[in-house]
Structure 1
Amino acid sequence: MFEEQNEQYFIHSDVFLSTEDKTNYGKFFKNSIQFFILLNENHGDINVDDDGDPDLCRPERIDLTLVHRNETNVSECGYQLWNGALLLCDYILTNQTRFLNKTILELGAGIGLCSLIASRFVSKIICTGIL
């Protein structure tokens, strides 16, 4: 009975409230997001190539296309991207060395963005969710 009553209430994610791409896939929307990952932590060291030119450490750009919902009922809130997931992704990217060669368990992963970002650094990921 409680679940049936909650089906009428909708939850809104505020991550993509306004978007340029209004591509609609039924109840789903498509949005792009970019992450820049600096893979080399030795920012102070200057490496040179065979010709003696500086070999600069440039961040790797990862482009992800997310298919998600902006509005769902309570039982489908895993189809949304939440601010907490973006915050955790930022933490993972800022503290890459803490995750190197670790095993990560993500419970209630939703669309799985945190696991995708962490997969660049960890040795194993177990990603779960009920959708």
Structure 2
Amino acid sequence: MIAILAVTLGAAIGAPMRYLMDRWVTVRTSGPSGSAAFPWGLLTVNVIGSAIAGPVLSLTSGDLRLFLLVGICGAFTTFSGFAWEVNGLRPITRMVFWSALIVMPVACTGAFLITYNMANWIGK
């Protein structure tokens, strides 16, 4: 029961953080028409979330890990949001679509691996 509560509470924190960060970045990177040519807000939340997930996975365990990793980071990052944004970009230009499809997972994996290894190095 504690595990479910930890995940639920974390998700209640992570989801609004994702929405606010995504909107904040998107508003600042959109063109004059209000539309973004690339999902910068979504890239930002996913890279930040992946960078946070590295040390969380390395340095925590149990219910705290569930709260931080599954709850907060899980709700903060989103592949479904990425799929939605990329799908919306497809009619605009294929190059943007393929760039987003390649950049997002590479950036998130890189952020995770760097911070995970740094946390392991610092923690030892």
TM-score by length of 1: 0.27
Q: Which has the higher strand share?
A: 1
Greater relative contact order, per chain length (Cα 8 Å cut-off, separation 6+): 2
Bigger proportion of residues as helix: 2
Q: Which has the larger radius of gyration?
A: 1
